[in-house]
Amino acid sequence: MISLPPGIIILVGALALPLLPRSAQAIGALALPAISLAQLLFLSEGVFPGIELAGLSLLQVRVDPLSLAFGYIFHIAAFIAALYALHVRDTVQHVTAMLYVGSAIGAVFSGDLITLFIYWEITALASVFLIFASRTQRAYQAGIRYLIVQIGSGVLLLAGILLHYHDSGSLSFDQLIGPDGNLSDASAGVWLIFAAFGIKCAFPLLHNWLQDAYPQATVTGAVFLSAFTTKLAVYALARGFPGTEVLIGIGVVMTLFPIFFAVIENDLRKVLCYSLNNQLGFMVVGVGIGTELALNGAVAHAFVHILYKALLFMSMGAVLYRTGTIRASDLGGLYRSMPWTAAFCIVGAMSISAFPLFSGFVAKSLTMSAVAEGYYMLTFIGLLIASAGVMEHSGIKIPYFAFFGHDSGIRCKEAPWHMCLAMGAAAVLCIAIGWFPQPLYALLPYPVVYQPYADFGHSVTQLQLLLFAALAFVVLKRTGMYPAEQASLNLDTDWLYRRAAPRVIRKIVAVSRQVGQAFLRTGSELGRTLMRLVLNHYGPEGTLARAWPTGSMVLWVAVLLGASLILFYL
């Protein structure tokens, strides 16, 4: 059992889940990550050969601190999400959720690029069923769009791997970028792999599949989705592209632009998706700087982010589950009905905002120190603005509009016990990591000398930043300058392929149809004129087809004969 590649137990177990009675499937899904985690704890570090195929070693397993850190958190997230989904009686969701988890874990431990590609595609195929499982028309269409983007990323990855293999003769999944971190010197294959990772990591302009698809997922499906796909991409970037300088710029843009969309978004799970996008930016900056401190920051951020983002998705999922809506314009005042969910949500909100003594603070401080120590001043300023943005949409907006604000009059039951248990577990971890960051730091790929609470001034200034941002919110709210929530939808880059592209295609079809019709019309007009000409000469009434009387024929023959006779005697 110990020599099995990580993730395989969950994958095989997922396929066996339908054999269980329907009521036991959820418990089976809960057991799988626990068993797999037990296996992981016994794995020793190193690269283990897989199967030899056509001279290539495939299905390699690499266990090192980087893959282990992601492996542990993926297991913890899978367990918490499965606990949250304990009430679900839907075989499709349990099976695909576990296939998704197993393949994400498998991808993290893959030592070669082909194995990575195989798992990369399974995550895409399995996860889309968590969107389809909502069984609405909108979810179906969003799922199809999601699948096209994800499979597209897989195709780019495969093409990139093949080109890279052609150039370098290596399939091993190591650092792909050169030591100077300059992408423009890299080969075409490496570029394609970078683009494939970028799509999954929701780089700016490639991001919108995330905000399009995740809010359409089921209550429990969104919790799974929030944890794995994008963090797998962060892992892949940390593995293949540490120190790639262009990532710093990409990351800063990623932290900044989603916050404006989050301000005006009405669907609170979509707000969380924009927030997720913004958080990924911090990790991408860390990978881009590429120093030991920065990479530690990226990994630590991914670790704690999975917990508090899952916690926030769980709390909003519980609201959706109990009230049937997640629109900010329909919600408010729910703390009366769902006090526990509200409390857990606030813990998640304070963690993501990086309040001192919460998990976000101990992780984000690593990245921020790495940025400052590298004297990336503009990046530092950008991330400070983004930090205020996180406070706005995740720290204040999510809990305020769902649980406080104006009373919507909705009175419902508290979330079911297992949801509260799952949220409680995540909340306890968020606080525990905030108080005692050392166990987390011990998991990071490089030794950590950083102590987040050694500099008391840092905690004070961070609190200043957050509380004065909150003060600005209060001022905006009191003066009525804060935009009112209203049932609406905001355009994003998905407009390009949902509206603009179909419109352009429809236009092209219409124009070419018109051109074709004009062509046909002219053609038949020409043909008709030609036929008329032919008919005039050769038709039944035509000159050459005229019937002549026999008498005139004889007369003309006689004339001709006479004429030839005269010519003969002349």
The C-alpha atoms of residue 528 and residue 523 are separated, in whole angstroms, by: 9
Query: Shortest distance, CB of residue 336 to another protein, whole angstroms?
Result: 17
Q: Binders of another protein among 264-293, rule CB under 8 A?
A: 264
Taking CB under 8 A as the binding criterion, the range among 169-177, 179-187, 219-227, 449-457 that sits at the site for another protein is 449-457
- Using CB under 8 A as the binding rule, whether residue 481 contacts another protein is answered as yes
* Nearest-approach distance from CB 64 to another protein, in angstroms: 31
- DSSP per-residue codes, 246-273: HHHHHHHHHHHHHHHHHHH--BHHHHHH
User: How far is the C-alpha of 349 from the C-alpha of 549, rounded, in Å?
Assistant: 108
CB of 440 to another protein, least distance (A): 22
Nearest Cα to Cα of residue 267 among 487, 518, 29:
487
DSSP summary character for residue 62: E
Q: Which of 464, 512, 514, 517 binds another protein (CB under 8 A)?
A: 464
**Is the CB of 145 or the CB of 322 nearer to another protein?**
145
| Cβ atoms 335, 403 nearer than 8 A | yes
Query: Which member of 471, 508, 530, 561 binds another protein (CB under 8 A)?
Result: 471
Assess contact for 323 and 413: CB atoms under 8 A: no
Q: Which part of the chain contacts another protein (CB under 8 A), choosing from 50-58, 239-247, 253-261, 417-425?
A: 253-261
Kindly tell me which of 112 and 392 has the beta carbon lying closer to another protein: 392
205 lies in the site for another protein, by CB under 8 A: no
Within 10 Å of residue 314's Cβ, how many Cβ atoms?
33
Single residue of 12, 34, 384, 496 touching another protein by CB under 8 A: 384
Nearer CB in complex with another protein: 175/490: 490
Site for another protein contains 392 (CB under 8 A): yes
CB atoms within 10 A of CB 565: 10
Q: Which two tokens stand for residue 308?
A: 């508090």
**Smaller CB distance to another protein: residue 481 or 566?**
481
CA distance 433 to 300: 10
Q: Are 4 and 59 in contact (CB under 8 A)?
A: no
Residue 3 gets which letter from DSSP?
T
> Should residue 378 be labelled a site residue for another protein when binding is judged by CB under 8 A?
no
**Which one, 175 or 493, has the nearer CB to another protein?**
493
In whole angstroms, the minimum distance from the beta carbon of 270 to another protein comes to 12
Q: Which residue, 29 or 469, has its beta carbon nearer to another protein?
A: 469
Residues 514 and 522: their CA atoms lie apart, in Å, by 12
The DSSP call for residue 386 is: H
Main-chain phi, psi angles of 57, to 5 degrees = -90, 110
Residue of the chain from 25, 150, 218, 462 that contacts another protein (CB under 8 A): 462
Residue type, 397: K
8 A C-beta contact, residue 344 and residue 315: yes
Interatomic CA distance for residues 82 and 437, integer angstroms: 26
Choose between 495 and 556: whose C-beta lies nearer to another protein: 495
How would you label 531-563 residue by residue, b for 16+ Cβ within 10 Å and e otherwise? eeeeeeeeeeeeeeeeeeeeeeeeeeeeeeeee
Cβ neighbours for 218, distance < 8 A, ≥ 6 positions apart = 88, 93, 130, 131, 133, 134
How near is the Cβ of 441 to another protein at its closest, in Å?
Answer: 19
Q: Between 60 and 255, name the residue whose CB sits nearer to another protein.
A: 255
Question: In the set 21, 439, 457, 540, which binds another protein (CB under 8 A)?
Answer: 457
Cβ distance to another protein smaller for residue 48 or 380: 380
Name the residue nearer to another protein (CB basis): 231 or 397.
397
Q: Taking the complex as a whole, how short is the minimal distance between the CB of residue 491 and another protein, in angstroms?
A: 4
Number of residues that bind another protein (CB under 8 A): 51
Amino acid at 427: A
Report helix, strand or coil for 231. Answer: helix
Which of 460, 535, 554, 560 touches another protein by CB under 8 A? 460
Residue number, 489 or 544, with CB nearest to another protein: 489
Q: How far apart are the first and last CA of the chain?
A: 125
Among 64, 118, 253, 458, binds another protein (CB under 8 A): 458
Q: Binders of another protein among 510-569, rule CB under 8 A? A: none
Copy the structure tokens of residue 337: 């009905």
CA 479/CA 393 separation, integer angstroms: 19
For residues 220 and 313, is the Cβ–Cβ distance under 8 A? no
Window 483-512: contact mask with another protein (x via CB under 8 A): x---xxxxxx-----xx-------------
Tokens, residue 175: 């650092």
From the CB of 490, what's the least distance to another protein, in Å? 5
Find where tokens 């950083």 sit: 450
Part in contact with another protein (CB under 8 A); list of ranges 223-231, 334-342, 473-481, 506-514:
473-481
Smallest gap from residue 278 Cβ to another protein (A):
11
Given the complex with another protein, which of 461 and 517 has the nearer CB atom? Answer: 461
Stretch that binds another protein, among 19-27, 52-60, 475-483, 518-526 (CB under 8 A): 475-483
441 vs 505: CA distance, rounded Å: 53
Least distance in angstroms from the C-beta of 368 to another protein: 10
Q: Give a three-class secondary structure readout of 82-113.
A: HHHCCCCCCHHHHHHHHHHHHHHHHHHCECEH
**Cα dihedral sign, 322-30-232-213:** negative
Q: Is residue 466 close enough to count as binding another protein by CB under 8 A?
A: yes
Nearer to another protein, 165 or 260 (CB): 260
Residue 168 CB, nearest distance to another protein (Å)? 39
Bridge-based pairing of strands 61-63 and 56-58 is unpaired
Stretch that binds another protein, among 43-51, 221-229, 312-320, 450-458 (CB under 8 A): 450-458
Residues that bind another protein (CB under 8 A): 138, 259-264, 372-373, 375, 377, 380, 384-385, 387-389, 391-392, 455-458, 460-476, 481-483, 487-492, 498-499
